[in-house]
Structure 1
Amino acid sequence: MRKISNKIKVIAFDADDTLWVNETYFRDAEHQFAKLLSKYETENKIDQELFRIEIKNLGQYGYGIKGFILSMVECALELSNYQVKQKTIEAILTIGKEMLAKPIELLDGVEEVLHSLQGKYKLIVATKGDLLDQERKLEKSNLLKYFHHIEVMSDKKEKDYQKLIQHLDIHASELLMIGNSLKSDVLPLVAIGASAFHIPFHTTWAHEEVSKVSQSKFKYETVSNIKQVLSYL
């Protein structure tokens, strides 16, 4: 087992699907959406069109449930040739509101790990998404007491992490990131000289998937449960 550098001063945690369940709710919502529009297209085609529209809208709406709701509405209009009924639009909005109201389901071992690391390192959250929604989830999670800083990022590319490192006034080698997405939480960090742990979640949004070639270029640790991180520190 390779021990993580003793230079680490700050440990950053992704939020969705690292601290608590999130992507599962999007898969459920996509299924409900496809049922609402089943008279217009097959579920597979609806999924493809919704994904296309989501990606097209990322630059305007960013990440999160609110952008997802707007993309569902746009998709419904397009697939129905603008004939979709008002009640269907209302049902789409209800899907989104139900997602926003979901309880926070912490993943196994999260609080145990945060409690163990608190005081030894500066702990922060570095996550994407809608600011209001992420603040709500953090509040409901009862985890705020463990974190020194919360950073809700518009994106998670190398330049975004470099800005975070500058804000924290540390060197890249002093940062460890823990997250479920190779594309957002691992590869950009390793590329700029930080350390990273990959904790795969059982479902991943297609936009976050990366090729095996991209993965093979970088060195990082993969664990199946966040509690395993402790043995590396």
Structure 2
Amino acid sequence: MYKDIKVIAFDADDTLWVNETYFRDAENEFAALLNDYETENKIHQELFKKEIDNLELYGYGVKGFTLSMIECALELSNYQIPQKTLDRILNIGKEMLEKPIELLDGVEEVLQQLQGKYKLIVATKGDLLDQQRKLEKSGISKYFHHVEVMSEKKPIDYKKMLQRLDINPADLLMIGNSLKSDVLPLIEVGASAIHIPFHTTWAHETVSKEQKSTTDYKTLSNIKEVIDLLK
């Protein structure tokens, strides 16, 4: 199935290293800070709505998330939130940006085995500076021929990437944790894709049962299984 693959693209967050866990922890602390104004469930709902509303303005990543937390806190408190609490919310964001990079099990081992046999690239979305920082801190940037940081991961965005890098879609295999961003758009443009779920998925990245069942892709439990698939 993958005998013609020449280029392998990897999503970054929650495919190469831990990311979503930090957002969940931040959301929980945010809810605890605002518990005088609303229930925990309502706070989570309002923050998610604020993030989605702000995506076009701020894009993905910690900075946009932090701004959304601040806006949400102001609105839920009827603009009565103490300055000390706002300062803590800002620091939650800064602490997220300073988190150590925790590679997922098997990542470097797989990259070592694939290097030289395939052209390896990173195809991720989010804040450019933050993604570059994480890749540098990860210690695995040496394995990649190219790093693509996209503002969105829709079929048109992948088509632009393929054209820019002069890659035939049939030559590309994408590996990622999100069906919505890393798998379904690739199938649509004629590439191959492998889904490796992470234990936590942002609600914005979920897809319907119909989408899951009608597309031809492989699902693995660990990135190390990729090696056997490519033999």
Tell me, yes or no, whether TM beats 0.5.
yes
In the alignment, which of 20, 30, 35 is matched to residue 33 of structure 1?
Answer: 30
Q: Does 1:171 align with 2:168?
A: yes
Aligned counterparts of 1:47 and 1:116: Cα–Cα separation in 2: 41
Is the CA contact (8 Å cut-off) linking 1:15 and 1:126 kept in structure 2?
yes
Aligned counterparts of 1:7 and 1:70: Cα–Cα separation in 2: 44
The equivalent residue for 1:78 is 75
In the alignment, which of 217, 221, 231 is matched to residue 220 of structure 1?
Answer: 217
Deviations 1:171-198 (A, max 9, x none): 1111100000000000000111100000
Deviations 1:12-51 (A, max 9, x none): 0000000000000000000000000000001100000000
SS in 2 for 1:226: coil
Deviations 1:77-121 (A, max 9, x none): 110011111111000001001100100000000000000000000
- Normalising by structure 2, what TM-score? 0.99
The equivalent residue for 1:17 is 14
SS in 2 for 1:39: coil
In the alignment, which of 111, 129, 133 is matched to residue 130 of structure 2?
Answer: 133
1:86-165 aligned within 5 A: 86-165=83-162
Provide the identity percentage. Answer: 74
Q: Does 1:231 align with 2:231?
A: no
Is the CA contact (8 Å cut-off) linking 1:182 and 1:210 kept in structure 2?
yes
The equivalent residue for 2:52 is 55
Q: How many residues align?
A: 230
In the alignment, which of 67, 79, 84 is matched to residue 64 of structure 2?
Answer: 67
Structure 2: gaps (5+ residues)? none
SS in 2 for 1:19: coil
Is the CA contact (8 Å cut-off) linking 1:177 and 1:197 kept in structure 2?
yes
Q: Does 1:190 align with 2:167?
A: no
The equivalent residue for 1:7 is 4
The equivalent residue for 2:207 is 210
Is the CA contact (8 Å cut-off) linking 1:191 and 1:218 kept in structure 2?
no
Aligned counterparts of 1:22 and 1:226: Cα–Cα separation in 2: 16
What amino acid is the match of 1:84? I
What amino acid is the match of 1:173? A
Runs of 4+ in 1 over 3 A off after TM superposition: none
Aligned counterparts of 2:25 and 2:2: Cα–Cα separation in 1: 40
Shift of 1:214: 1.1
Aligned counterparts of 2:111 and 2:150: Cα–Cα separation in 1: 21
Question: What is the root-mean-square deviation of aligned Cα atoms in Å?
Answer: 0.6
Aligned counterparts of 1:86 and 1:170: Cα–Cα separation in 2: 51
SS in 2 for 1:33: helix
Structure 1: gaps (5+ residues)? none
Shift of 1:9: 1.0
Shift of 1:11: 0.3
Aligned counterparts of 2:44 and 2:167: Cα–Cα separation in 1: 42
- Normalising by structure 1, what TM-score? 0.98
Aligned counterparts of 1:123 and 1:62: Cα–Cα separation in 2: 26
Aligned counterparts of 2:9 and 2:105: Cα–Cα separation in 1: 18
Aligned counterparts of 2:162 and 2:6: Cα–Cα separation in 1: 11
